[in-house]
């Protein structure tokens, strides 16, 4: 009577259970960004870490060096060697996938890398399963003794072997830490603060040709994209500069100071109108933004961000034209 678990094509599902498990986990890891429960940390890290650190190399080595059944000495790689080389091969595969995506114009982004790596793993696992010939498989599930024999660590025969084993372990730990740290940042966008002036119909983060400082009656906008709670301070100054050197400040006077604390993702607009006393050539109003403590003497140089408006439309128009060139 023939074994029903073996098809006429020679594929034995039981002997390829490890490859099936790898495929299932790869699919879960690739789909984790789109599933709310799986996309939360640290669950997403646990799922995606093996996909980029172990699975691609494991199926690749399984295809190149099919494991023996443990009853003879025909196993080409023992368990320790297979794990170590799987990590190294996985790093190379993921790097090649990332380069391919970058060259194709898709770009190196988390989701395409996960999908492409999972696709590679699924495809190569089919090849690996096909290479496990029927005569190399035992009937039924392997015994615990046979499994331990396959995944044993061979005793080092020379001092050089011992040193290489230590180096391999250190490389595995380094790869685990580095890739784990990188995956911990998946899904996090760049942190920044958006700072702008709004006049009702438009907003600007640069000198505006259409608005002079005395005419400004609008609001100061702040948006927190720093992924954490931030205390902001806005210092508004009236500055007089030298005629031929706008970077040289003759006098500065603080018009107002506003403080606001924003949680991650929050925004706030602060109504503000420039006093009518501000006007004349070689004068400007500077809006200085600070995250955290404010220096004793606020300046453009020590501010985190700054926006300035000249007291005359001509000066604003001239500076905007220079900036475009």
Which range (169-173, 252-256, 298-302) has the least confidence? 169-173
- Taking the alpha carbons of 65, 70, 72, 77 in that order, is the dihedral positive or negative? positive
Mean of the per-residue pLDDT values for the chain? 76
Mean pLDDT of 43-49: 83
Q: Which two tokens stand for residue 158?
A: 């020379």
In percent, the amount of the chain with pLDDT more than 90 equals: 26
For residue 71, the model assigns a pLDDT of 45
Which of 15-24, 83-92, 293-302 ranks highest by mean pLDDT?
Answer: 293-302
Q: Which two tokens stand for residue 115?
A: 């999908």
Residue 167: its H or E element: helix 159-184
Q: How confident is the model at residue 263 (pLDDT cuts 50, 70, 90)?
A: very high
Query: What backbone phi and psi angles, to 5 degrees, belong to 235?
Result: -110, 125
**Ramachandran bin of 10, using left for φ above 0, alpha for ψ from -120 to 50, beta for the remaining angles:** left
Residues 13-24 have pLDDT tens digits of 566 788 899 999
Query: What backbone phi and psi angles, to 5 degrees, belong to 86?
Result: -65, -40
Closest listed residue to residue 289, CA positions, set 200, 217, 201, 226: 226
CA-to-CA separations, 134 to 4, 78, 302, in angstroms, rounded: 13, 20, 73
CA-to-CA separations, 69 to 132, 141, 232, in angstroms, rounded: 10, 10, 65
Q: Is the pLDDT of residue 107 over 60?
A: yes
CA-to-CA separations, 62 to 12, 75, 116, 129, 150, in angstroms, rounded: 15, 11, 19, 8, 13
In percent, the amount of the chain with pLDDT more than 70 equals: 65
Residues 148-175 have pLDDT tens digits of 454 454 555 566 655 555 665 665 566 5
Report d(CA 109, CA 131) in Å as an integer: 33
Indicate the burial class of 72 (C-beta count within 10 angstroms; 0-12, 13-18, 19 or more): exposed
How is residue 185 annotated by DSSP?
T
Q: Which two tokens stand for residue 41?
A: 């940390």
Which range (180-189, 192-201, 296-305) has the least confidence? 180-189
For residue 75, the model assigns a pLDDT of 47
Give pTM, 2 decimals: 0.47
For residue 286, the model assigns a pLDDT of 94
């Amino acid at each position: 009577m023939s074994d029903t678990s073996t098809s006429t094509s020679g594929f034995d599902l039981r002997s390829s259970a490890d490859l099936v498990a790898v495929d299932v986990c790869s699919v879960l890891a690739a789909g984790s960004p789109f599933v709310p429960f799986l996309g939360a940390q640290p669950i997403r890290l646990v799922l995606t870490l093996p996909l980029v650190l172990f699975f691609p190399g494991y199926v690749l080595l399984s295809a190149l060096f099919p494991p023996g059944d443990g009853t003879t000495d025909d196993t080409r790689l023992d368990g320790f060697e297979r794990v170590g080389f799987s990590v190294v091969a996985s790093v190379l595969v993921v790097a090649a996938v990332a380069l391919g995506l970058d060259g194709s114009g898709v770009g190196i982004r988390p989701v395409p890398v996960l999908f492409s790596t999972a696709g590679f793993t699924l495809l190569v696992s089919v090849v690996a399963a096909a290479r496990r010939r029927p005569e190399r498989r035992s009937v039924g599930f392997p015994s615990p003794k046979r499994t331990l024999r396959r995944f044993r660590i061979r005793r080092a025969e020379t001092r050089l072997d011992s040193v290489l084993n230590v180096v391999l372990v250190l490389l595995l730990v380094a790869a685990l830490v580095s890739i784990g740290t990188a995956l911990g940042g998946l899904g996090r966008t760049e942190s920044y603060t958006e700072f702008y002036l709004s006049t009702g119909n438009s907003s600007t983060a640069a000198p505006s040709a259409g608005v002079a400082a005395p005419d400004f009656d609008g609001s100061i906008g702040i948006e927190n994209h720093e992924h954490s709670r931030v205390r902001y301070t806005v210092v508004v100054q009236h500055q007089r500069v030298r005629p031929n050197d706008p970077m040289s400040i003759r006098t500065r006077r603080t018009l107002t100071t506003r403080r606001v604390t924003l949680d991650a993702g929050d925004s706030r607009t602060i109504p503000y109108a420039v006093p009518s006393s501000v006007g004349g050539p070689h004068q400007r109003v500077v809006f200085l933004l600070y995250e955290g403590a404010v220096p004793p003497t606020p300046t453009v140089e020590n501010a985190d961000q700054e926006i300035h408006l000249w007291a005359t439309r001509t000066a604003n128009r001239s500076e905007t034209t220079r900036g475009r060139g």
